[in-house]
Chain A
């Protein structure tokens, strides 16, 4: 049995807990929606592109963002809803880039379909902008090798996995998820790091993502 590589610096698991802040801003049609998308804080764009992931842990497939869901179910603009739902969030390394893409998609659609701007949501069904406030806390868990890492992946809260995969990459703009970064730099396992990096985590439920990660990591443990 080959030896497990022991990292000099362990992977320390953090967790992220979310509190939702309300902005008091609401849109009742597409023009207002795209104007507000351009103005609201980044934390608001983050909230509306990631909320579903955390609130519906067991449902899949889920609408990936609140904008797509609202446009489809309330305004009945299925085509635009689909365009927004299929924006590949994993392609964006900053909230700024994601925001531009969402606003640009709505504006492009309005140009081609001017009649869509005259659809208004009922007062009770307006789009309410919220924003995400993240609290990042250390957990007691630390891993020095892949065996420990896989074991802890099975134990930590789903919020911890969420933090290291989604929040670290996009919201903290680290460019990569924390797991891949550690596996590459501290364990020198570029192949395994890449395998995790090329996952599209947005198409999994969080519990399925946990299972998938454990499976990938376990494959990398020498037998």
Chain B
């Protein structure tokens, strides 16, 4: 795991000095993070990075998990889809399953933090244990247009927190508590984002039988309907009529996502044995993801909804031209025609991919601008700073705070 000093050559000494100043102000406070899984998905990935760095800076950050069985995670997956605005049939029984497991967790999870930082809906009921400490609910989901029934149910818990955190402005809701905007981030030193030698990239392509004979268009995502892998295949087919290329669809499935395997089957069916479509199931291999992104000529993220869409930041950090949907946190990362191309449909994605494949100079400029934007706003060091400011803000009501 990278040490804080290793970020100096990337972001500069002064940024790290600021982090140390803030950490000093948080000495003595225990920050207890709670979520539902330690592997798979963006939340676990971010916590795995942030907590060691917080601790190295002298902030006592810790991490606990709630427990849940297949039924519970089946329900939370339905909640997740409903919060994204997708119709989901949720029965009274589902709410009961959610509450039964949640109440067991309320009994079993030890709460010891001065600040309890609860991530996503799965552990939300733990707020019942609120005492004199401060509680923050961190929503990593796109709730710009949530299913009212599920939102209202969760809202009953959210209002008891001291503050909520969302990843994009459009996710904020009418709430009687303070709400903050904190975008997630990528770690430039992680296996997923660090520089890789050409030979390693070639070896990964060879391992998955992806020849370098044609331009490579890639979407890296969990096999999830909200990531619209079928739409990506449609866009590829439209591009393919004019520009010969390969499509790589690569991703894993998270421990709390029972739907993934089903979607993977649908994708295979839609690909219909096209030898230029490469469907790769990569269980948590960050170096390989990194290599595939670096080997790509265009990176696509054609999601229908996004909590944030960190794969966009990953690709831009590698100075790749990106075509992505104008949803969730993606427009925060891409300024259309400046640091990537935004689209609203499979047709729009196809048009943008063709533009990029046909204009290498333009593609290069988009990638370079994207890299600078990510460097200023979406690296882990900015994220660490925002979280420390958030923890400090709980003690103040003013808009201008002298520390």
- Chain A residues with a Cβ under 8 A of chain B: 15, 17-24, 26, 41-43, 55-59, 123-124, 126, 128, 130-137, 139, 155-157, 159, 171-172
In the bound complex, what is the Cα–Cα distance between A155 and B170 (angstroms)? 36
Chain B residue contacts of A135, Cβ below 8 A: 389, 392-393, 401, 403
With both beta carbons as reference points, the residue of chain A lying nearest to B387 in the complex is identified as: A19
Given contacts A24-B175, A128-B170, contact A156 B386 (CB under 8 A): no
Given contacts A17-B389, A24-B172, A58-B376, contact A157 B401 (CB under 8 A): no
- What are 16 sample pairs from A and B whose C-beta atoms fall under 8 A apart? A17-B18, A19-B393, A20-B180, A23-B179, A24-B173, A42-B399, A55-B376, A55-B377, A58-B372, A123-B144, A128-B170, A135-B403, A137-B22, A139-B17, A157-B18, A171-B400
In the bound complex, what is the Cα–Cα distance between A124 and B178 (angstroms)? 22
In the bound complex, what is the Cα–Cα distance between A172 and B389 (angstroms)? 20
In the bound complex, what is the Cα–Cα distance between A136 and B21 (angstroms)? 11
In the bound complex, what is the Cα–Cα distance between A136 and B173 (angstroms)? 28
Given contacts A135-B389, A136-B401, contact A128 B169 (CB under 8 A): yes
Is B373 touching A43 in the complex (CB atoms < 8 A)? no
In the bound complex, what is the Cα–Cα distance between A133 and B400 (angstroms)? 6
Q: Is the CB of B192 closer than 8 A to any CB of chain A?
A: no
Given contacts A15-B18, A159-B18, contact A136 B400 (CB under 8 A): yes
A73 to chain B, nearest CB (A): 9
Is B180 touching A22 in the complex (CB atoms < 8 A)? yes
In the bound complex, what is the Cα–Cα distance between A19 and B170 (angstroms)? 17
Q: Is the CB of B281 closer than 8 A to any CB of chain A?
A: no
Chain B residue contacts of A42, Cβ below 8 A: 399
With both beta carbons as reference points, the residue of chain A lying nearest to B403 in the complex is identified as: A137
Is B145 touching A21 in the complex (CB atoms < 8 A)? no
Chain B residue contacts of A128, Cβ below 8 A: 169-170, 172
- Chain B residues with a Cβ under 8 A of chain A: 12, 14-15, 17-18, 21-22, 144-145, 166, 169-170, 172-175, 178-182, 326-327, 338, 372-373, 376-377, 385-386, 389-390, 392-393, 399-403
Given contacts A22-B180, A130-B169, A133-B401, contact A56 B386 (CB under 8 A): no
* 10 A-B pairs with least C-beta separation: A22-B172, A128-B169, A43-B399, A22-B179, A157-B14, A20-B181, A19-B389, A24-B174, A137-B403, A134-B400
Given contacts A41-B399, A136-B403, contact A19 B14 (CB under 8 A): no
Is A21 touching B175 in the complex (CB atoms < 8 A)? no
Is B401 touching A22 in the complex (CB atoms < 8 A)? no
With both beta carbons as reference points, the residue of chain B lying nearest to A23 in the complex is identified as: B172
In the bound complex, what is the Cα–Cα distance between A23 and B174 (angstroms)? 8
Is B393 touching A22 in the complex (CB atoms < 8 A)? no
A100 to chain B, nearest CB (A): 19
B173 to chain A, nearest CB (A): 6
In the bound complex, what is the Cα–Cα distance between A17 and B399 (angstroms)? 12
Partner of B22, one of A17, A23, A130: A17
Is B166 touching A22 in the complex (CB atoms < 8 A)? yes
Given contacts A20-B180, A20-B181, contact A172 B400 (CB under 8 A): yes
Chain B residue contacts of A155, Cβ below 8 A: 14
Chain B residue contacts of A131, Cβ below 8 A: 399
In the bound complex, what is the Cα–Cα distance between A135 and B67 (angstroms)? 37
Is B400 touching A17 in the complex (CB atoms < 8 A)? no
Given contacts A24-B179, A56-B373, contact A123 B403 (CB under 8 A): no
Chain A residue contacts of B373, Cβ below 8 A: 56
Partner of A126, one of B170, B180, B181, B401: B170
In the bound complex, what is the Cα–Cα distance between A20 and B385 (angstroms)? 12
In the bound complex, what is the Cα–Cα distance between A156 and B182 (angstroms)? 24
Chain A residue contacts of B173, Cβ below 8 A: 24
Given contacts A17-B385, A133-B399, contact A124 B327 (CB under 8 A): yes
Given contacts A15-B18, A19-B390, A20-B181, contact A124 B144 (CB under 8 A): yes
Chain B residue contacts of A19, Cβ below 8 A: 180, 182, 386, 389-390, 393
With both beta carbons as reference points, the residue of chain A lying nearest to B175 in the complex is identified as: A24
In the bound complex, what is the Cα–Cα distance between A98 and B173 (angstroms)? 27
In the bound complex, what is the Cα–Cα distance between A15 and B399 (angstroms)? 15
In the bound complex, what is the Cα–Cα distance between A134 and B396 (angstroms)? 11
Is A130 touching B181 in the complex (CB atoms < 8 A)? yes
In the bound complex, what is the Cα–Cα distance between A87 and B19 (angstroms)? 35
In the bound complex, what is the Cα–Cα distance between A172 and B399 (angstroms)? 11
With both beta carbons as reference points, the residue of chain B lying nearest to A41 in the complex is identified as: B399
Chain B residue contacts of A171, Cβ below 8 A: 400
With both beta carbons as reference points, the residue of chain A lying nearest to B172 in the complex is identified as: A22
In the bound complex, what is the Cα–Cα distance between A130 and B18 (angstroms)? 24
Partner of A22, one of B17, B181, B327, B399: B181
